[in-house]
Amino acid sequence: MPYDRIKPALLCGLVALGSVAAIHSDELLDGVDARTLAMTCTSCHGSDGLSAGPAVPSIGGMNPGYFVKIMEGFRSGEIYSVTMGRIAKGYSDAEIERLADYFHDRPFVPAKQDFDPELAAQGRELHDHYCERCHSEGGIALEGEEYHILAGQWVTYLRNAMEDFRTGRRPLDKKMKRKLDRLLEREGETSLDALLAFYASQQ
């Protein structure tokens, strides 16, 4: 076959091959199983986001928008972390969104933990007065609320998170800061123990 006829045929073949490769690449990206992506999370957050350790939150049922916001905060360094910043940097934006949807679809299972019933009763009143407007239904995080679940979450984790908020290691929006400052000013430090007991009681 003359060269001038081979060249167009070869060019068409390369274009077709490139198109197939591009389609195959997209299919590979789309085919990344969310469960596979989530395997990195299992060692700390447990199977399907059900944490077995009190210092690590259960993340099943988390609002997807909140999940993305937190991961972006870890990745940028806005939220202080020992390991999560490094882990978050390993995911692309698309992968983080896929993880957000995956964990949102997993059920949240309240942690089985001890609590003081009398303190929990006080905490219920404090929650209703200071926290309920944002953390609805006692802190269960209704669909569409960009907060994570407080009710039934591990108390050790919540206590550590609260300390991070108060010391600036974790950003605190103005509305929450006003509420927290008002709570501590009016009710004292023990009010936090009461709130945490209330969240722990919801099993």
Are 162 and 192 in the same domain?
yes
Structural domain that includes position 56: 34-105
Are 93 and 151 in the same domain?
no
Are 131 and 181 in the same domain?
yes
- Annotated binding site for heme c, which residues? 41, 44-45, 84, 131, 134-135, 176
Full-model pTM: 0.81
Which residue ranges of the chain lie beneath pLDDT 70? 1-32
**pLDDT of 53-71, one tens digit each?**
999 999 999 999 999 999 9
Are 51 and 101 in the same domain?
yes
Are 194 and 121 in the same domain?
yes
Three-class secondary structure of residue 168 per DSSP? coil
Are 160 and 187 in the same domain?
yes
User: What domain count does the chain have?
Assistant: 2
- pLDDT score for 8: 43
Are 124 and 193 in the same domain?
yes
* SS3 annotation, 112-158: CCCCCHHHHHHHHHHHHHHHCCCCHHHHCCCCCCCCCCCCCCCHHHH
- pLDDT score for 23: 35
In a domain, 134, yes or no: yes
Q: Which of 155, 165, 164 is nearest to 193 (CA)?
A: 155
- pLDDT score for 113: 97
Are 124 and 191 in the same domain?
yes
In a domain, 11, yes or no: no
Are 153 and 194 in the same domain?
yes
Are 90 and 128 in the same domain?
no
In a domain, 20, yes or no: no
Single out the residue in 59, 74, 105 at which a domain terminates. 105
- Annotated binding site, which residues? 41, 44-45, 84, 131, 134-135, 176
- pLDDT score for 12: 40
- pLDDT score for 32: 67
- pLDDT score for 150: 97
CATH number at 157 reads 1.10.760.10
DSSP 81-116: -SSHHHHHTTS-HHHHHHHHHHHHTSPP--------
Are 124 and 101 in the same domain?
no
